[in-house]
Structure 1
Amino acid sequence: MLKLFLLFFLSLSLLPFISCSDDYESFVYAGCSETKYTPGSPYQLNVESLLTSLSKAAESSTYANDTSSTASSADPAYGLFQCRADLPISDCDSCIRSALSQLSALCPAATGGGVQLRSCFLRYDKESFIGKPDNTLLYKRCGGAAAGGYASNIFGMRDAALGSLTTAPPTGGSYRVGGAGYVQAMAQCVGDLSPQECSDCVESAVAQVKAACGFAVGADVYLGKCYLQYWSNGAYPSRHDHVDETGKTLAIIIGILAAVALILVFLSFIRRAGSRGKY
């Protein structure tokens, strides 16, 4: 399996430029291979053909995988994309276009790369990864700790909500939602997994989120082929809301300081003018 260097720091550096209205396209993480392809090589042409094909597929579907070997059958490029199952096609298309743009900027000439946005995922590689389970933890985000630690009744609800995700839905598919009390949870597997492989991935995600985030009132974990989120009664706001509120608070503080400075300058000017008038 190709190892990708994950670029978690970008999830912080890009946040100030994201508004709540485009939350579904917000950056989570990216990974790029160490190896680079030769510009103009057959593999580059296969990658470009593959990404064009995936972009076209996103206009009518929330999941697709493809293999491109048009330029050279000896250097095929493998890839897939997936959007959150409840995302409208138009938003999925927009999300994948954003992922493609960021992938190009973050992983130039990389033989493999992937970008996870809030509601869509895109990956390509020189080695086939399609249809292969991967429960590797790639990214986690933990909310604040619940008051009272594990004694809080939120954790019984959390465990019940997460437990409801580990059973495949009767209709099949990779998108799962659950809840208990005031805790909600959701999970989604990449569409190339079987129902059993999906359940195995979600079970691994449940175990890893509990181990990684302990007493958190909400958390996200992203594994190689699935991700999981749980939250409780608005106690786990999106990081964009937090950044926006922080930005608003900072802007207010700066505005107040600027106003105070202007008042002081004006008063100083009045005092100097009054002093000159006495002579």
Structure 2
Amino acid sequence: MIIITFMFWSSWWALNGVVSDPQTNLLRKDCTPAGILVLPNFSIFSDNVNETFGEIREQIMSINKHFATAQQGNGGNPVFSLFQCRNYLSVHDCVGCFDAAAKQVRNCPAASPGGLVVYDGCFLGYETTGAFLEQTTEDFNAVSCSSQTMTGSTSFTSLAQQMLKSLQTTAPKNQGFFAATRIELPDNSTTIYAFVQCTETITQTGCVNCLNTGYNNMPTCLPNSEGRAYAYGCFMRYSTTSFFPDNYQTIHITSEGKQGSNKKGTIIGVVVGVVAFVLILLTLLAWIKRPKRPERSVPRGDISGVSKLKGPINFSYRELKFATKSFSAENKVGEGGFGAVYKGTLKNGKAVAVKKLTLHQSKKVEEEFESEVKLISNVHHRNLIRLLGCCSKRNERILIYEYMKNTSLDKFLFEDTLHQNMQFMAWKLYERGLHMELVDNTMDPNDYNVEEVKKIIEIGLLCTQASAELRPSISEVIVLLQGNGLLENMRPTMPILIET
């Protein structure tokens, strides 16, 4: 069985949702009455509160955390403080929410042995004992609802409940105890956004129980356009207004409420990365199969007449021979259908991956090789190894890449399973309707949606069409990914065999 290796595991789009919004809509403020516990020294206690707040702010800024605790016991006046902001907030907005909460809670009377503030974007609390760090709904649980009622309230309520139920089940299993989702109503009139989060100091069971309470309280708000349920240990929110970034990682739920793949945005990013990889292979194929053109002289090191793109660095063969110790066996890190890969160290100390290509000879190799390498060198993506340059000497064609630590370029780009995603096995399985045979059998079937995987495979095959006119553009790929299926006039045809 061929395994599709999802090597490009991050999306290439930048976060483009909520920007510079610390979400400081105040939901609750409590100050512990002074009579409950007599403080030995109000001034020292206040200083200790400030000390813990300073430590928390420093943690958020320096370690880029969304959660922090601190304690201080100077002068026999102990203080335990806890802060948590929503995981979708940027560090800047997280700090902004903390600053607002710290200012708000400092308004508690000086003799108060504790206080808490709950905002849309964060939670901040302090007390004289650490017991509250593990509390869930013991002291309070509450809801906050908008006043706008949604039209089509029955379907809206049903879908919102299904979304929250799915998040309530998922969040306690996730590291950090949080989860998010969004989905359009079946009529495409409204998108619902939902998020849940538990305090990281409580147990998984405590998280489950707290979210259960929040979920049971949420019908108070439905079918209003927005609702929140919150307590010491957890926070739950839904809204028809986007309150987290569009590209924030979410679990995918169908309009029927069924949970599908756990990170649709990530899957789309994976596909775009795979498409970019296929384009690189097609580029190499293009210059192998390119029809002959009239001879023309192209100066070494200057191919500006071929393209307006910025060209790669031309390495000398002698330099690469020195870097790889004459392409010695001890420097060889892998080999695939397109050639051998060597680790090299340049004179400036930079480690590179040097790939000696095995290609067909051609009278036009010099011009074609340099023009195509120039195109590849201008493809920059966070999930693609960057091409640094090339070298041509007689029949030798060499590519120089960034060195990938802990593995080989050969395994990354040309591992055996892919060389076979080249011997038409993927196409043959597609023809027989056996798309799912391409999926890694170690993956949990509950972690992906079968129909979406089939669509992704078909889009990948579209990108390997023999004719450039038949291959979709990146914009078309994105449209196809967002649609329900392929168009009838965009069905894959058998790709070309790449000879090696």
TM exceeds 0.5?
Answer: yes
Aligned partner of 1:123 in structure 2 is: 125
Does the aligned pair in 2 maintain the 1:138–1:224 contact within 8 Å? Answer: no
Alpha-carbon distance, 1:23 to partner: 5.4
Report how far residue 85 of structure 1 moved: 0.7
Residues 1:48 and 2:58 are matched in the alignment: no
Return the letter of the residue paired with 1:32: C
1:229 aligns to 2:237 (yes or no): yes
Give CA-to-partner distance per residue, 1:175-196, whole Å, 9 cap, x none: 2113454333111111112233
Partner AA of 1:66 in structure 2: A
1:27 aligns with 26
Q: How does 1:1-279 map to 2 (within 5 A)?
A: 22=21, 24-35=23-34, 37=39, 40-59=42-61, 60=63, 61-72=65-76, 75-128=77-130, 129-134=132-137, 136-147=140-151, 149=153, 152-169=154-171, 171-181=174-184, 182-210=191-219, 212-232=220-240, 234=241
Contact 2:197–2:236 at 8 Å: present in 1 too? yes
> d(CA) in 2 for partners of 1:80 and 1:69?
15
Greater CA drift, 83-92 or 126-135: 126-135
Percent identity reads 20
Work out the number of aligned pairs and report it. Answer: 211
Measured against aligned partners, the alpha-carbon deviations of 1:51-92 in whole angstroms (never above 9, x if no partner) come to 2222222223211112211322xx321110011111111221
Q: What is the one-letter code of the residue matched to 2:30? A: G
Residue 100 of structure 1 aligns to a residue whose secondary structure is: helix
Query: If the length of structure 1 is used for normalisation, what is the TM-score?
Result: 0.66
Going from structure 1 to structure 2, the CA distance change for 1:29 and 1:218 (only over 3 Å counts) comes to same
- The 1:229–1:158 alpha-carbon spacing in structure 2 relative to 1, beyond 3 Å, is same
Q: Distance in 2 between matches of 1:57 and 1:109?
A: 27
1:183-210 deviation per Cα after TM superposition (whole angstroms, max 9, x unaligned): 3311111111223321221121011111
CA contact (8 A) 2:148 2:224 kept: yes
Do the aligned partners of residues 139 and 167 (structure 1) sit closer, same or farther apart at CA in structure 2, a change above 3 Å counting? closer
TM-score, length-scaled by structure 2: 0.39
User: 1:143–1:219: 8 Å Cα contact kept in structure 2?
Assistant: no
Q: Distance in 2 between matches of 1:230 and 1:166?
A: 12
The CA distance in 2 between the partners of 1:43 and 1:155, in whole Å, is: 47
- Structure 1 residues 113, 33: closer, same or farther in 2, change over 3 A? same
1:82 and 1:132 mapped to 2: Cα distance? 14
Where in structure 2 are there 5+ consecutive unaligned residues? Answer: 1-18, 185-190, 244-500
Higher helix share: 1
Q: State the superposition RMSD in angstroms.
A: 2.7
Structure 1 residue 21: deviation in Å?
A: 6.3
Larger Rg: 2
Q: Which structure ranks higher in relative contact order (CA pairs < 8 Å, sequence separation ≥ 6)?
A: 1
Contact 2:42 2:111 in 1 (8 A): no
Equivalent position SS for 2:195: strand
8 Å CA contact 2:79–2:129 kept in 1: the answer is yes
Equivalent-residue separation in structure 1 for 2:239 and 2:92 (angstroms): 26
Quote the Cα distance in structure 2 between the aligned partners of 1:52 and 1:192.
Answer: 20
**Cα displacement (A) at 1:113:** 0.5
